[in-house]
Chains A and B, each alone.
Chain A
C-alpha cells in the first residue's frame, strides 16, 4: 500500500517541479537578458604587488606596516569610520609599549560622567577604553554622510569576500568612467554624491576617495614613501589585524597541533595494522 502512494507522491512532486522547469526554461530561452554595466565592468579585488607579510599559512604581522596603517586610519578613516571593537589596550599587538598606549588613549576624548555632578561629559581615554565613534549615533552618521552610514571598520576585512584585498582595491580603485564602459552603456552615469569605483559591486560608491594624494600622511623616518598604494596597503593590513588580532597566534598554534595530530595518526595507523594483522588474510605463499 505504501509503495503505490509513494510513487504517486514522487510523481506529483517531480511533475510540478518539471512544469516549473519548462516554464522557467522557456522564459530563459526566449527573453533576452539585458547586459549590465555592474556585471561586465565589476573587477575582482586584488592585493598590492608582492602581497602582504601576513599572507599564507606561515605569514606573520609586519608590525611596522600595521603601525603605519594605524596612522592612516587615525588621520584619514577615523574622521567618519568607527572602530568600536578595538580597545586602546589592544594596540600592544602593534608593538606599542604600555606608556605609549596610555599616552595614545589619553589623546582621545571619550564619553564619561562628571564625577562631581553626574552629568555627561568627556574625559581623556584610558587603555581599557574602546576607540570612540566619530558620531554620537547612527542618525548623526547618516545625516553627515548623505544618508550612507560609514560602516564600522573593526571587522570590515572579515565582512567582505577577500576583505583585505577588497579594502586595498577599493581605496586604489577610484577613477573616471572608462571609455569602453561609456561606449557600451551610454546611459550609465554615476549619480551626484556617489563616486565611480570598479571594485564596488554596483560601481557607484558613496564614500569619496579618502586617500587622494601621495604624501597625504607623513610617515616617520625609515618608512617607505607614503604613496596612495602604500598607504592603502598599510591601512588594509591594519584592518586585517583589527578584524582578526589572533590571526598569527592562531596559525602558530595550528602548526604544532597539526604536527602532533599527524604523528598520533601515524601511530594509530601502525597500531591498527598490528591489531588487524592476526585476522587480515595474508596472500598465499608458495
Chain B
C-alpha cells in the first residue's frame, strides 16, 4: 500500500527485470526506502534518527559477530579473552571499542527517536502499531545491552548482573526460585555467562525482525511529520530517494564524526573503570552502577526508599518496569486531536519544562551514588515522570486550546496550498 502517486518500480535492466518477475526484492526495497515511498516534504532532522538506529543495529551485529569469533563465554577465561581481543587480534581494539561505543550511540539515537515520538505524538492513530513495535524493540535492546555488558566479566559485569537479576528476587513467593532459574545458580557464574552470551547473540536478530515489522507498520499510514497534519496531496510529499537518502546521508555523516571521536579518542569515557577489574564475587565495588543508558530507570528503581503496604524494593521494581511499560498505553492516554507539540501550547510547556528536566535529573541521579541529595532529586523527578504520562497527558487536552493548524503540509512549507485546494490529487491515501 502507498499513496496513489507513489512511483512504480519499472526496471529496464534485463537482470533486474528477471529478478522482479521471480522475486520482487528490488521492488520491495524501492517501495520501502527508495523512490517508491512518498514521504512528507517537511520532515526536520529529528526524523533522521530512525535511519541512524538502523545503522547502529547493523554496526552492532557486524562488530559483534567478529568479536564472538575471538571470545569465549567461560568465566575463567572471558576477561582474558577480551584482553586478547584488545591486544592480539588484528584491529580487535577497533572492533571492541566500536561495539562498546556503538551500544551507547544506539541508545543515544533511540532516545532521540523516542522523544521525537513524545513531542510530535507519533504514537497517535493511525500509527499505534508502529509505536507498540518500537517499545518492543526498546525492551529487546535493553535486554540485549544488559546481557552484553556482562560478557567482559569485569567487576561491573558481575555485580550489575547480580543486582539486576536480584530485582526478580523482590517478587513475592516466586521471586527467589525465579532468580535462581534465570541465573542457573545462586550467583552469576558460568551458567549465567553462557546463557547471556547465547541470548546476546540471538536477540539482535530478533530486534532486526521486529524492526522489519516496525517499518512495515510505518509504511501503512506513511511517515508522520512536524505539523502532525496528514498528507493530503502529492505536493505534500517527496520521494524517499533521493530526498531523504540525501538528508539521512548527511545526518549520518555528522553522527559518524561524533562516533569516531568517541571510538578513537575517548573510547572508555562512557564505561566504568571497575569493568577493567576481573569479576570477583568476594569484593563488592563501592558503587554499583549500570551502563549510562539505564540510569533513568535505575534512578526510578532506587527512588522508592519507603515501605508502604509493599516493601520498598518491590515498589522500585514495579515502578521501574511500569516506567517503560506505560509507553504501550500512550496512544490511548493522550486524546488530543492535535498530534504535533508545535500546536499544543500547554502540552509543549509540560514537555520542555517538565518531562525533559525530569529525564535529565533521572539520568544524572541514576549514575550518582545512592546518597542525598541525589535520592531526593530522583524522587521528585520520578513523581513527575509518572504524573506526566499517567495524569497530565490524559488530562491536558481538556484544558488546552490548540493553536491553528495549517491546512496542509504544502501550506506549512510554501505559505499556501493552491494545488491541494484546487482538488488535484486530493484523494486520501488508502
Contact = CB atoms under 8 A, between A and B. Distances in A.
A17 B268 contact: no
Nearest to B379: A21
Interface string A14-57: 10111111011100100000000000000000000000000001
Given A155-B83, A254-B260, A268 B268 contact: no
Given A24-B375, A158-B268, A254-B263, A163 B87 contact: no
B386 interface: yes
A122 interface: no
B260 A258 contact: yes
Given A90-B87, A154-B83, A9 B238 contact: no
A3 B243 CA distance: 40
B304 to A, nearest CB: 6
Nearest to A159: B276
Contacts of A155: 83, 276-277
B322 interface: yes
Contacts of B263: 254
Nearest to A246: B93
Contacts, number: 165
B391 A17 contact: no
Q: Which of B253, B312, B326 has the most chain A CB atoms closer than 10 A to its own CB?
A: B253
Interface in A263-281: 264-265, 268-269, 271-272, 275-276, 279, 281
Contacts of B335: 3
28 contacts: A2-B333, A3-B335, A7-B395, A9-B386, A9-B390, A14-B391, A18-B380, A20-B306, A20-B312, A21-B376, A28-B376, A151-B277, A155-B277, A158-B276, A159-B274, A201-B286, A246-B87, A250-B93, A250-B94, A253-B94, A254-B263, A261-B257, A265-B253, A265-B254, A271-B249, A276-B247, A279-B238, A279-B243
Going nearest first, the 6 A-B pairs with the smallest beta carbon separation are A10-B390, A254-B264, A265-B253, A21-B379, A20-B306, A14-B383
B66 interface: no
B376 A9 contact: no
Contact of A17 (B93, B246, B373, B382): B382
Interface of A: 2-3, 6-7, 9-11, 13-14, 16-21, 23-25, 28, 57, 85, 90, 151, 154-155, 158-161, 163, 201, 243, 245-246, 250-251, 253-255, 257-258, 261-262, 264-265, 268-269, 271-272, 275-276, 279, 281
A159 B273 contact: yes
B166 interface: no
Contact of A19 (B306, B333, B414): B306
A19 B286 CA distance: 28
B315 A16 contact: yes
B265 interface: yes
Q: Which of B87, B322, B329 has the most chain A CB atoms closer than 10 A to its own CB?
A: B87
Interface in B228-267: 238, 242-243, 246-247, 249-250, 252-254, 256-257, 260-261, 263-265, 267
Nearest to A20: B306
Contact of B273 (A163, A201, A264, A269): A163
Contact of A20 (B303, B387, B390): B303
A253 B264 contact: yes
Contacts of B253: 261, 264-265, 268-269
B387 A14 contact: yes
Contact of A276 (B86, B246, B274, B286): B246
B21 interface: no
A25 to B, nearest CB: 6
B394 A7 contact: yes
B342 to A, nearest CB: 18
Given A17-B382, A253-B94, A9 B322 contact: yes
Contacts of B312: 20
Contact of B246 (A20, A246, A271): A271
A54 to B, nearest CB: 13
Nearest to A275: B246
Contact of B257 (A18, A20, A262, A272): A262
A6 B390 contact: yes
Given A6-B329, A85-B80, A272-B250, A279 B41 contact: yes
A160 B275 CA distance: 10
Contacts of A17: 303-304, 319, 379, 382-383, 386
Contacts of A250: 93-94, 97, 264, 267
A172 B414 CA distance: 68
B277 A24 contact: no
A204 B125 CA distance: 62
A120 to B, nearest CB: 20
Nearest to B310: A16
Given A251-B264, A271-B249, A16 B83 contact: no
A265 B375 CA distance: 43
Interface in B70-99: 80, 83, 86-87, 93-94, 97
Q: Which of B41, B326, B372 has the most chain A CB atoms closer than 10 A to its own CB?
A: B372
A254 B380 CA distance: 42
A256 B315 CA distance: 51
Contacts of A19: 306, 308
B413 interface: yes
Contact of B380 (A6, A7, A21, A154): A21
A18 to B, nearest CB: 5
